[in-house]
A and B are shown apart, each in its own frame.
Chain A
């Protein structure tokens, strides 16, 4: 450690510099250059003029000066039947209506059809972050929340895609999305995920994010059931640079529907800024334009909320509030909302968790529009807010808030079974359709692998060959269904047929449609009907229990079972003999050690794992080193550390006593002190070692002599000891308190360290 006292910087800044947060780059607010979340330098004021049933002026721009976006919005978004009524309502009043549980969602949705982008933006900008979050949960379209996973890997390995897709389905994701490291591998990725996604259950929708034309072709071959790559931008120049127009995108929207494929658009804050065409307008205003285009073209939904621009939006003051606000606009405009929370906007886990919270607790059609169900390095979209690494954190957040984030825990054994089943099914199809011949080594390595670094499987080049064959041989989902059946994968064949049959009725083309338990649910038959407490989405008791059922949960029996395992060893190390009621001592050098009721009878180790026999020996050695003598007694009327210590002190000839609980928490007490005003407290049992107990004994003996020793310091490194131990502490302590008896007097205990000469 260097001790440079003449440094010219407070050292704390060095430590702050080393935090993951400081990898994030923050940008100064600069509206002229597009760096403004809510107040762009060139944001127009809201306004609308209608002449002869046509829009003559919108948001300060006369119809003859409309750019393509204005023109499209005026023609397709604005509903002339409601526009005048809606635009007459001031933004403040609209904002209040959004957070008023007594104003039904349907009424606000009706009004939104007549509001211009600038008015929509102005209204949501009135809301603080809390109000936005509340309004979102009230305004989102479908009552039941859902979630979407990314399933990709760095090798485009089909076996791993199938295994990971099956796991994602088991975790409860309603949709899974793949993409490729190498573009030409698209057909292989599609086939692999498609097969994996029908293992275990039917109805998980699947998309393969690819080049527009190819994506449609893959959809037509039946491998995919939805698409969300129809990107929309908020300025004309960005749109043109994106090589599209509102009309070309509207054409695609109809194209997907005409093939029975669910489709949502994509837009998100800061994409225009990234593309260099922001027109000095705020993130929110540009996003309002994007969302009006999407509603206008008849998209059932949107993937929205920063998306790829989330890191840039978050670099601006208020950027995360803006991301929430644009999500609110999406649902106010009655669009299904896959609410972003995909591209990781920060290296700081706190920022990530804080951003997702409203969607987790308030629900969203798809909370993440790409939760990385795979490891970060395998995420071909780039790391998500949550990835395979952090998946259990999300499960615990669900449990903490009793909030349905759409996911359910999986067990070790069933996860491996599912992976093997998916790998076997896909391997069979690959061989059966003469696409590839996976070996046993490949299959086994993938089954247990957490990520592609651990696999010995297909490499990208092998995958290109598979992919080309699928495309060239014009293999369709029907070939795959027949192949699965031939291989004995009958439930999978059934599940896959169920999925492609969805497109015949088109029920899942409606707003916010997903499949649950074999039924399509959407904003039509499962509408968000929130009107205050007790309404809207509520957990059933069964679902609540599912959310609670995470791994490694402790109960009283488990504590006792673990303790019982230490009992035989302790029986060989120490013998306790109860000698009858304890008397007040007269020896001025004695230190009485008062042990708790469960000490050595039900509990045998401290929280740091030390056998209690060794703790007692350390105390005795310390006391003797300090020139004292240890007398042991079991306190039976209390298990509280302070009172254990005080009772011991009051029976001690020196007036000094030590109280110690079976879990290792200890105190040095003196007979004339108030119960909670001790001499020394050893409260961090999990980090208290034998040297500390020895020093504790020595100090007690010194207090007995009338000396004032330096208190023993048990150093901690700031571990969250409470979180690590408190469930066990409370259960252990409850076991001890249950053993106490009112008015039971302390008993002298003789101890014999076995194996000692």
Chain B
């Protein structure tokens, strides 16, 4: 990571600083060629965005005055560490009436911190938990 945060000058990353960007297993953009795909050297993992790329996009967004967008990219950077099934499981929990008590969301937040090093996501879930409690969403909807 560079010392100075990236700015709009560094955009698009793939064109201005391709060396900063790699796939999830470290392959550079230059290595993601058709030949490599045909040879079976490229998997879907190599086409996944990295937390690093998301954090760099967050810096660019922030320098363009888009702090809210940047925060979403930062949450997304944490979420790259969360498996798909878990993402959907937590999404389901966050939907109205899916859980009867605030504890399950609080536990989820702790799990996000502990298992996935995802403090921003944990904070989002905790915030939801207190909002749901206040608004009486922990109720049976069926």
Which single residue of chain A is at the shortest CB-CB distance from B49?
A260
Within 8 Å by CB of B49, from A106, A109, A506, lies A506
Binds B, one of A68-76, A442-450, A734-742: A68-76
Interchain CB contact under 8 A, B34 and A110: no
Interchain CB contact under 8 A, A520 and B14: yes
Residues of A contacting B97 with CB < 8 Å?
A: 240
Interchain CB contact under 8 A, A510 and B61: yes
Within 8 Å by CB of A482, from B18, B37, B44, lies B37
Q: Given A220-B44, A298-B72, A505-B29, does the pair A245, B49 have CB atoms closer than 8 Å? A: no
Q: Given A243-B96, A251-B94, does the pair A519, B69 have CB atoms closer than 8 Å? A: no
Which single residue of chain B is at the shortest CB-CB distance from A242?
B96
Interchain CB contact under 8 A, A525 and B95: no
Chain B, interface size: which category?
35 or more
Q: Is A212 an interface residue (CB 8 A)?
A: yes
Task: Provide the bound-state CA to CA distance between A591 and B14, in Å.
Answer: 82
| 0/1 string, B4-43, CB within 8 A of A gives 1 | 0000100111110010011100000100111001100011
Interchain CB contact under 8 A, A504 and B124: no
| 0/1 string, A67-108, CB within 8 A of B gives 1 | 110011001110100000000000000000000000000100
Per the 8 Å Cβ criterion, residues 110-153 of A in contact with B are: 110
**Could you say which of B22, B44, B68 has the most chain A C-beta atoms within 10 Å of its C-beta?**
B68
| 0/1 string, A213-246, CB within 8 A of B gives 1 | 1001100111000000000000010011001110
Residues of A contacting B64 with CB < 8 Å?
A: 510-511, 523-524
- Return A229 CB to nearest CB of chain B, in Å: 13
**Could you say which of A243, A260, A298 has the most chain B C-beta atoms within 10 Å of its C-beta?**
A298
Q: Given A75-B127, A257-B76, A476-B44, does the pair A245, B95 have CB atoms closer than 8 Å? A: yes
Interchain CB contact under 8 A, A511 and B14: no
Q: Is A199 an interface residue (CB 8 A)?
A: no
Interchain CB contact under 8 A, B37 and A481: yes
Residues of B contacting A500 with CB < 8 Å?
A: 47
- Return B94 CB to nearest CB of chain A, in Å: 4
Residues of A contacting B33 with CB < 8 Å?
A: 497
Within 8 Å by CB of A478, from B29, B44, B131, lies B44
| 0/1 string, A278-299, CB within 8 A of B gives 1 | 0000000000000000011111
Which single residue of chain A is at the shortest CB-CB distance from B85?
A213
- Return A246 CB to nearest CB of chain B, in Å: 8
Q: Is B113 an interface residue (CB 8 A)?
A: no
Which single residue of chain A is at the shortest CB-CB distance from B97?
A240
Q: Given A72-B131, A504-B32, does the pair A509, B137 have CB atoms closer than 8 Å? A: no
Interchain CB contact under 8 A, A222 and B91: no
- Return A756 CB to nearest CB of chain B, in Å: 76
Interchain CB contact under 8 A, A503 and B47: yes
Interchain CB contact under 8 A, B15 and A519: yes
Q: Given A77-B68, A236-B135, A260-B48, does the pair A507, B8 have CB atoms closer than 8 Å? A: no
- Return A505 CB to nearest CB of chain B, in Å: 4
Interchain CB contact under 8 A, A503 and B12: no
Interchain CB contact under 8 A, B57 and A504: no
- Return B52 CB to nearest CB of chain A, in Å: 10
| 0/1 string, A284-326, CB within 8 A of B gives 1 | 0000000000011111100000000000000000000000000
Interchain CB contact under 8 A, B72 and A68: no
Interchain CB contact under 8 A, B79 and A222: no
Q: Is A252 an interface residue (CB 8 A)?
A: yes
The list of the 8 closest CB pairs from A to B, nearest first, reads A298-B72, A257-B76, A247-B128, A260-B49, A258-B79, A507-B12, A248-B94, A505-B14
Please give the residue numbers on chain A whose beta carbons come within 8 Å of chain B beta carbons, in ascending order: 67-68, 71-72, 75-77, 79, 106, 109-110, 212-213, 216-217, 220-222, 236, 239-240, 243-245, 247-248, 250-260, 295-300, 334, 476-478, 481-482, 485, 490, 493-494, 497, 500-507, 509-511, 519-520, 522-525
A-B contact pairs, 28 of them (CB 8 A): A68-B135, A217-B84, A221-B44, A239-B96, A245-B128, A245-B137, A248-B94, A248-B96, A248-B128, A251-B124, A254-B72, A255-B87, A260-B49, A298-B68, A298-B69, A334-B65, A490-B34, A497-B32, A501-B32, A504-B50, A505-B21, A505-B49, A509-B54, A510-B57, A520-B15, A522-B12, A525-B8, A525-B12
Known: A255-B91, A503-B49. 10 other contacts (CB 8 A): A240-B96, A251-B124, A300-B69, A476-B44, A477-B47, A494-B34, A497-B37, A506-B54, A506-B57, A511-B69
